[in-house]
Amino acid sequence: MAENAEWDTAIAYKNFLKKARENVEMMKARYNDLLLNETDMDTLGSIQNDIRILVIGTDRCSDSAGIIPILARMEAAAPKIDLRILDSAANAQYHQQFKVNGKRKTPVVLFLNQEHEELCRWVERPNAAYKVVNEATSPSTDGRQDELMKLYSDPEIQRQCLNEFMSLVLRADFILGRK
């Protein structure tokens, strides 16, 4: 559950970009590269309930830098979605609640209602990115990071990420009583 303090501490995407020191140009490019089609726009415009999306992440994380712009595009197209980003390093104690297999993963994307109750969650990276990481030919962490950066530039991967998030936004809307 996201507490009011974490939501109030989190910042809007525009402010996140202003504060970011790493991956800024990549995030701007991802935001501009992702084109929402008519179906996407219709779906996002049809959201009936207010949904808050809290991302626990950082500009230093390639997964965060790859997916936060996609969520920002969704927010820009959906009047009922409010996106905020909470710095994972500065809020490590809070971030500890969302471990996967005993490890802290970044980013964590929480879909919340107005009372900050969690409706659904998405963690770390899209399914297609896991395949790249698991099949990476480079044994080094830097090599895998380079592969992830290229992956997040791929329009097909961006579309897959968007589809994963769209499914969760719709699920959250249905949980809240979409008619």
Give per-residue pLDDT as tens, 19-56: 999 999 999 999 999 999 999 999 999 999 999 999 99
Domains in the chain, please, with CATH? 4-126+158-175 (3.40.30.10)
Q: How confident is the model at residue 5 (pLDDT cuts 50, 70, 90)?
A: confident
pLDDT single digits (tens) 88-110: 999 999 999 988 888 888 999 99
| 84: number of Cβ within 10 Å | 22
d(CA 8, CA 102) in angstroms, rounded, equals: 27
Collapsing DSSP to helix, strand or coil, 103 comes out as strand
Query: What residue type is 10 in one-letter code?
Result: A
Q: How confident is the model at residue 84 (pLDDT cuts 50, 70, 90)?
A: very high
- Window from 61-70, 123-132, 160-169 with minimum mean pLDDT: 123-132
